Each structure stands twice: as structure tokens, then as C-alpha cells.
Amino acid sequence: MAESSFVIGDRVKVKGRPEHLYVLVDVDSSRGKARVCPLISSPFGLTNGDPEWIDYSRLQKVEKVYAHISFFQSYTSLKNTYDNLEENCSDYCKGFLDATDRDMSNAIRNKSTSYFPIPDSAPESLEEAKKKTSFNEVEMEFYRKFKKEFIDDFIHELKFKTLAEVEADKFMYNDRQLGEFDFAKASAGLNKRFEYYSVKHKKVVPFDEVEITGTERNYKYKLKLDGSDVVIREELGFNGKPKFYSTVKKSYLMKEKVKREKNAVRIFLYQGGSGSVSGNGILYPAMTAVALTEILETIGYSVSFISGWDASQHLTKSSAGTAEEKVIYIPELVKNGIYNPRKGGWTEGERYVMFNVKSFEQNLNIPELLYVTASPSLYLWRAWKNMFLTFDKHKDKYVDIGYLGYFDNWREAIYSAFMPRDVNKGVIYVTIRNIHSVEDVKERVREVVKYAEAYNRNKREELGLL
């Protein structure tokens, strides 16, 4: 097979199929074969089809523009990274950050519905907002009402007809103090603690400073230092009561997720938006993603949830290929680059920030999931500060700030990054955006679940399981 510039993750065309776009996920040089995964339309947008082997010679190049993804394993990791960047940013960047903080303070003072669309959910101050790590009680009550009115009933309906196999999570005991302490388990090996006490010196002394003489049941204890008497007594705690220890070390009970590589769904939440994006335009897409995660996991699917936004629409070739970061190429959707009408010309690419909200193996933490994805104030405040810091770090161009990026480019960039690792696992890809009401949330959730169930049914029929 002749050497080619194709690499795993490239978007390609296939001769004879001009209407489809594919992702190259594997190559078998000995057979002259390439494995490609189609990007296909679904009721909720572009998703992934089944991979297939084709002759390598059928691959056709797709023109590319630059894009770059900075991926973080958690929101905490992202926040810590950008907090460090903020401490060391340029004075020019600090001006943008200060302005963003002022906007947030004004939004808190005015109870802005763009920042806080859920009534009475605004914090008292910017300092309180900085300490927040999950949905507050007012915000959670809003979600609980939606859960009661829709999610719970939908789960009940699905449980009687879903084809997903519910695999029970395992409850495992551990000695790392993870999970809930099980007193009944620990008490099975419960013993009192004892200590050596010097009568003369009126203090507890170490074992190696005590001389033991006599025979069994008639031991005598003397202090090696001066031969004074030592007695054994129950070890007391600060409250004056005896201390106990357990010979059963693994007495903490924790639910450990079962890693499921079948019935798997990856949800990608697009949080990109211009400066004029409404609070509901951020709240409801995230509620859709969280509701889908909760519903699909409950009925037996394994869900990975990833979120992110545009960080820069003006990535340059010189700033893309830094030593510590990898450049990902995406196919251009318009000829010769990404057109920016506000600039009146072509730019060279886009930069995205992504973070893992929930991995396949992680347990659900609904208040935390909602906070890091469904808080308009967090996006309009922290994400904007992060965007300025990204400009500053990579020396990108501070132009057209607030201009909406290209969703199709974002989606294809992340599909390119994940498809090669998921190709043999039957993972369904779902992207969420443009949800503006509770009714939109319900409609999109039903569409995605219906698609997942249909995909699951087809797979089982192919394997002869139905």
C-alpha cells in the first residue's frame, strides 16, 4: 500500500459515495484496507453509523481547517488550570477579566434573568458565587419538579419495554474510608484499645519503655527508666470514654459502577453561544443532557457526558501546534476556511475547551452535573473569563469577541477525537443544543431514547438475540 497522509481521526470521503462523510478509525496496511465510520443523520442531528472495512484506495481527502481541543478530565481540573492562568495573565487580559467580574456583580445585584433564569436563585454576592459548587436548593427544586412531572413517569414507562439490560452496580467494602461507614460490619471484629500507664509519672508510656516480667496471668510491668510500676488500662479518648478498634478493616461500603461497554451513549453538550445568548438557551440544553443521563442510566444504558464551548474563533497556525497540545484537523464546511462575516474574511480555525462531566464509570451526582452545565451565570461568567485566558495563553487574536462559532465544526472535531477509541464498542453519539423550553427538553429526550432503543434492537437482531 502506498504511503499516504491519511491518519486515524481524519474525515474522509469514499469513492462511489459522494453524499456521505466518514471518519477514518483504523488501517490494515497488510491487506490494503481502511476502516471508516459514517457520520449519518438522525432525528436529533448528526450521529455515528456502523464502521466497515473498505479498500484503502477508495479514500478521498477532504479539505481541512485548523481546530484544537483542550480536554479536561473534570470541571475541577479545568477550573484549577484556568485559575492558575488568571494569576499569571497579562495586564491586557486582566482588563477583560475585571470587566467580566463587574458584569457578574451587576447581574447578581439586578437578579438578571439572563444569568439566573430560575427565580430567586441568584447568590448574594460575587464571593458567594465563587464558592458555589452545585445547584442550590432553589435550583434543585426547579429540577425536582421537572423530574416529578416528566422524568419519573418516562422511566416508569420505559422500564416495561426497554431492551437495555440493567446490570446492577456492585456494593463493595473498602478500607480507604470511601462511602458509608458500616458499624455492623466493623463491630463484628470490635476490640478495646489498651495502653501502658506510669503510676509514678502519671502519663502514658510507649511499649518499648516497659519491662515485662513474671509468668502468664501474673505479668508485672516496670518502667525501664527507674523501675517504677506500670499498669495496663483501657485507652481513653478525648471524651474520657474507652477507645475501640476493629479487626475488620474493610468496613466502608461504596457503590462501584459496573463498566458497561454495551448499551453505551456519549452525550456531547454544546455550550457555545454569543454574548446575547439567553439564560434559557443555556439552562434547557443542559437540563436535556442531564435528564437523558439520568433516564438512560436508570433503564440500563451506560452514559458518558461531555461538555464544552468555543474558546477562540481565530486560531492561527503558529499558535495551534504548541508542544504540549495536539492539533486536530476538521473538514471545512465552506471552501478554504471558516468565514467570519463580522470580520469580512476568512480565519484559519477554531479552538474548543471540553471537559468530562461524567464518565461511563462514574455515579450520578445530579446537583453537581447541573451546576457545571446548566448554570447560565457560570457560562456567562467563568466560561467567558476562560475564553479571554485562552486568547492570552496562545496569543490568539482578540477580535470579534462574542461571535458565535460553528456548531458543525465543533461536533465533527469532537467526533474525530472520540470515534477511533469507541469504534468497536457500539457507542451512540448524541449532541445537544438549541433547546429553549421545557417542552423542547421533553421532545429531545424522547427522540434520543427512541433512537437508542431502535439502535439497540437492531444490534440484538444482528446478533440473533431477538
Report the distance separating Cα 226 and Cα 229, nearest Å: 9
pLDDT tens-digit readout, 291-305: 999 999 888 888 999
C-alpha cell belonging to residue 151: 422524568
* Neighbour count for residue 349 (Cβ, 10 Å): 27
**Same-domain pairing of 197 and 328:** no
Q: What is d(CA 319, CA 329) in angstroms, rounded to the nearest whole number?
A: 14
- Paired residues of 171 in beta bridges: 255
Buried/exposed 143-176: b ≥16 CB within 10 Å, e otherwise: beebbeebbeebbeebeeebbbeeeeeeeebeee
Chosen domain end from 208, 235, 254: 254
The two beta strands, 17-28 and 11-14, are antiparallel
Domain assignment present for 363? yes
Strands 264-270 and 428-432: parallel
384: Cα separation from own chain's centroid = 19
pLDDT at residue number 184: 52
E-assigned strand segments in 29-143: 33-42, 45-48, 52-55, 59-61, 64-72
DSSP 323: T
The helices-and-strands tally (H runs, E runs) of the chain is 13, 24
Residue 1: inside a domain: no
Domain presence at residue 175: no
CA distances from 254 to 294, 296, 297 (A): 20, 22, 18
State whether 85 and 221 are in the same domain: no
Cell of 408: 458543525
Final residue before a domain boundary, out of 238, 254, 270: 254
Looking up cell 459548587 gives 133
User: What is the enclosing helix (H) or strand (E) of 226?
Assistant: none
CB contact at 8 A, 397 and 316: yes
Quick one: 98 and 190 in the same domain?
Answer: no
* One domain for residues 456 and 400: yes
Same domain, 42 and 91: no
Question: How large is the C-alpha radius of gyration of the chain?
Answer: 29
The greatest distance separating any two alpha carbons of the chain, rounded to the nearest whole angstrom, comes to: 98
Give the whole-angstrom CA distance, residue 251 versus residue 188.
Answer: 10
Judge if 240 and 374 occupy the same domain.
no
275/114 Cα distance (integer angstroms)? 10
Residue 3 in any domain: the answer is: no
Using alpha carbons, list the distances in angstroms from residue 453 to 157, 359, 365, 446, 460: 13, 21, 25, 11, 11
**Are residues 53 and 121 both part of a single domain?**
no
Query: 113: how many CB neighbours lie within 10 A of its CB?
Result: 15
How far apart CA 396 and CA 320 sit, in angstroms, is 9
Whether residues 336 and 195 fall in one domain: no
> Does residue 174 sit within a domain?
no
Domain count within the chain: 3
pLDDT for 439 = 93
Q: Euclidean distance between the first and final Cα of the chain, in Å?
A: 41
- The pLDDT, as a whole number, for residue 55 is 93
Q: Give the model's pLDDT for residue 275.
A: 58
Rounded CA separation 6/329 (Å):
11
The pTM score is: 0.69
Per-residue pLDDT tens digits for 74-113: 888 888 999 999 999 989 889 889 998 999 999 999 998 8
**Residues 329 and 197 placed together within one structural domain of the fold:** no
Supply the pLDDT for residue 330: 35
Q: Are residues 275 and 140 in the same domain?
A: yes
Domain match, 101 and 52 both: no
Print the domain residue range for 52.
11-61
Ordered per-residue pLDDT tens for the chain, 466 residues: 444 578 787 778 899 887 788 888 889 988 999 999 888 776 666 677 788 899 999 998 876 555 677 788 888 888 899 999 999 998 988 988 999 899 999 999 999 888 888 988 888 899 988 888 888 889 999 999 999 999 998 888 887 666 565 444 455 655 555 555 554 554 554 455 677 888 888 888 887 888 888 776 677 888 888 889 988 877 765 455 655 544 545 555 554 554 444 578 999 998 866 556 678 888 999 999 999 999 998 888 889 999 987 765 555 444 433 333 333 333 333 233 333 333 333 345 677 788 899 998 888 888 888 988 888 888 888 888 888 888 787 776 555 555 556 677 777 777 877 887 787 677 888 989 888 899 999 999 999 988 888 877 776 666 565 5
28 occurs within a structural domain: yes
Partners of 330 in the β-ladder: 65
The last residue of a domain, from among 239, 254, 269? 254
- Which residues lie closer than 8 Å to 184 by C-beta, 6 or more apart? none
Residue-by-residue DSSP string for 158-185? HHTT--SPP-PPEEEEESS--SEE-HHH
Q: Is residue 6 part of a domain?
A: no
Q: Distance between CA 230 and CA 298 in Å, rounded?
A: 61
The grid coordinates of residue 137 equal 436548593
Distance CA 428, CA 266 (A): 6
How far is CA 394 from each of CA 271, 320, 382, 402, 429, rounded to the nearest angstrom? 21, 8, 18, 18, 30
Residues 420 and 300 in one domain: yes
Question: Does residue 2 lie in a domain region?
Answer: no
